[in-house]
């Protein structure tokens, strides 16, 4: 029996070291100190032990029992303390102020595009889109700019290194949104009234008013009896709705191979009020739009009879509009990803 008591002591001590929860500790207590445990059975049967062994065995068994009880209490204290510590560590102070969420917002360009499209939607135009990676055919040829046409020099092009299946179809990053005119006229029959917003790319050096990637909104109206007066009326009305009655607009002749006649519309410079400054290149005017009557060859190329139908088209630089409005003095701020700038709008 003495051996049994020693064995219990060793085993109980070893098991206790591995215990980390109150539930495990309780089952340990029942196993080693409970009414049916070996140690308590030994103590209960002391009366059957010969008298000369009884004293020593009883003393040792009681000693082991007391030591196990003590270890039990100490271990229980340790578990409770660590539980408390982890509670303390993970405590949430509900009185602390919450962390404000950083709210995102629409980019100034997106907002301007939406505003422009809303104005034209109010005049009966539908919003359409075209691809940014475009065939040379849509960007140039179908717009009356065959290979070697000098007007291509005005559209410094980023070519895409891609071998089309069947070969011979060069691809590029569109230099303007005008190819969407062709895609629309190929698909739809007049009457047509569309605006096409989107990004365009030019292989040119940047400065305060020129970016290599910027946005345009294209417009196209084709129907019977459309005249230059419709073009002027529509674009004047647009400028008035966007910039207010005070802003001055200037119409001047311009040349684009896909329109005849062609015009350029400019607005008086916001920064200098027309006196001349860095923003307007000392001219007092900022050009925002190219426009004109759709060239008969372009209509014909899209299967629309120019003797029956006519149309006007325009293309505007989107960033120029907030530049005018807010007096932003450098277009490169738009895509510089500086939140200090973007958050202001």
CB 311 within 8 A of CB 293: yes
- The region of 26-34, 69-77, 160-168, 208-216 touching ligand FA5 under the rule CB under 6 A is 208-216
Please report whether residue 221 would count as binding ligand FA5 according to CB under 6 A: no
Site for ligand FA5 in 284-323 (CB under 6 A): 287-292, 313-317, 319-320
The rounded Cα 285 to chain-centroid distance in angstroms is: 35
Selection from 260, 191, 241 nearest residue 220 by Cα: 191
Q: Which residues of 193-220 are buried (b: 16+ CB within 10 A; e: fewer)?
A: bbbbbbebbbeeeeebbebbebbbbbbb
Residues 187-206: x where in contact with ligand FA5 by CB under 6 A, - otherwise, as a string: ---------------x-x--
Q: Compare residues 64 and 288 and give the one whose CB is closer to ligand FA5.
A: 288
CA 149 to CA 167: how far, in whole Å?
Answer: 22
Residue of the chain from 37, 139, 178, 310 that contacts ligand FA5 (CB under 6 A): 178
- The region of 49-57, 121-129, 234-242, 283-291 touching ligand FA5 under the rule CB under 6 A is 283-291
Please report whether residue 259 would count as binding ligand FA5 according to CB under 6 A: yes
CA 160 to CA 170: how far, in whole Å?
Answer: 8
Q: Compare residues 64 and 286 and give the one whose CB is closer to ligand FA5.
A: 286
Please report whether residue 174 would count as binding ligand FA5 according to CB under 6 A: no
> Could you give the 3-state DSSP secondary structure of residue 253?
strand
| Residue 266 tokens, joined | 């400019």
How big is the site for ligand FA5, counted in residues (CB under 6 A)?
A: 26
Please report whether residue 176 would count as binding ligand FA5 according to CB under 6 A: yes
> Which pairing describes strands 171-173 and 126-127: parallel, antiparallel, or unpaired?
unpaired
Residue of the chain from 226, 331, 333, 334 that contacts ligand FA5 (CB under 6 A): 331
> Could you give the 3-state DSSP secondary structure of residue 344?
coil
Q: Compare residues 190 and 292 and give the one whose CB is closer to ligand FA5.
A: 292
- The region of 17-25, 55-63, 103-111, 282-290 touching ligand FA5 under the rule CB under 6 A is 282-290
CB 180 within 8 A of CB 129: yes
- Cα–Cα distances (Å) from 83 to 15, 73, 86, 93, in that order, read 20, 15, 5, 18
Q: Compare residues 42 and 196 and give the one whose CB is closer to ligand FA5.
A: 196
Contact residues: ligand FA5, CB under 6 A: 154, 176, 178, 202, 204, 210-211, 214, 216, 256, 259, 262, 287-292, 313-317, 319-320, 331
């Amino acid at each position: 029996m003495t051996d049994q008591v020693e064995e219990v002591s060793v085993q109980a001590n070893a098991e206790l070291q591995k215990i980390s929860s109150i539930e495990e500790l309780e089952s340990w207590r029942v196993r080693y100190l409970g009414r049916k445990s070996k140690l308590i059975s030994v103590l209960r049967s002391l009366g059957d032990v010969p008298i000369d062994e009884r004293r020593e065995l009883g003393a040792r068994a009681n000693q082991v029992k007391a030591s196990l009880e003590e270890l039990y209490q100490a271990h229980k204290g340790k578990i409770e303390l660590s539980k408390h510590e982890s509670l303390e560590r993970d405590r949430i102070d509900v009185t602390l102020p919450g962390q404000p969420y950083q709210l995102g917002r629409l980019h100034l360009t997106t907002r301007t595009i939406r505003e422009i499209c809303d104005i034209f939607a109010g005049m009966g135009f539908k919003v359409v889109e075209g691809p940014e990676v475009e065939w040379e055919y849509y960007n140039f040829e179908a717009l009356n700019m065959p290979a070697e046409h000098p007007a291509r020099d005005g559209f410094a092009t980023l070519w895409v290194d891609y071998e089309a299946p069947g070969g011979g179809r060069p691809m590029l990053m569109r230099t303007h949104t005008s190819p969407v005119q062709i895609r629309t006229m190929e698909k739809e029959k007049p009457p047509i009234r569309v605006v096409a917003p989107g990004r365009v790319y030019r292989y040119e050096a940047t400065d305060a008013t020129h970016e290599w990637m910027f946005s345009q909104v294209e417009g196209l109206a084709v129907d019977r009896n459309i005249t230059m007066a419709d073009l002027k009326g529509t674009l004047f009305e647009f400028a008035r709705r966007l910039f207010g009655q005070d802003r001055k607009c200037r119409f001047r002749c311009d040349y684009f191979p896909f329109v005849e006649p062609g015009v350029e519309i400019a607005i008086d410079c916001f920064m200098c009020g027309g006196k001349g400054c860095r923003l307007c290149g000392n001219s007092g005017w900022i050009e925002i739009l190219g426009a004109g009557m759709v060239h008969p060859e372009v209509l014909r190329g899209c299967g629309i009879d120019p003797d029956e139908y006519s149309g006007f088209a325009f293309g505007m630089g989107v960033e120029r509009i907030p530049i005018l409005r807010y007096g932003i003095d450098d277009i490169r701020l738009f895509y510089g990803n500086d939140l200090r700038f973007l958050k202001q709008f």
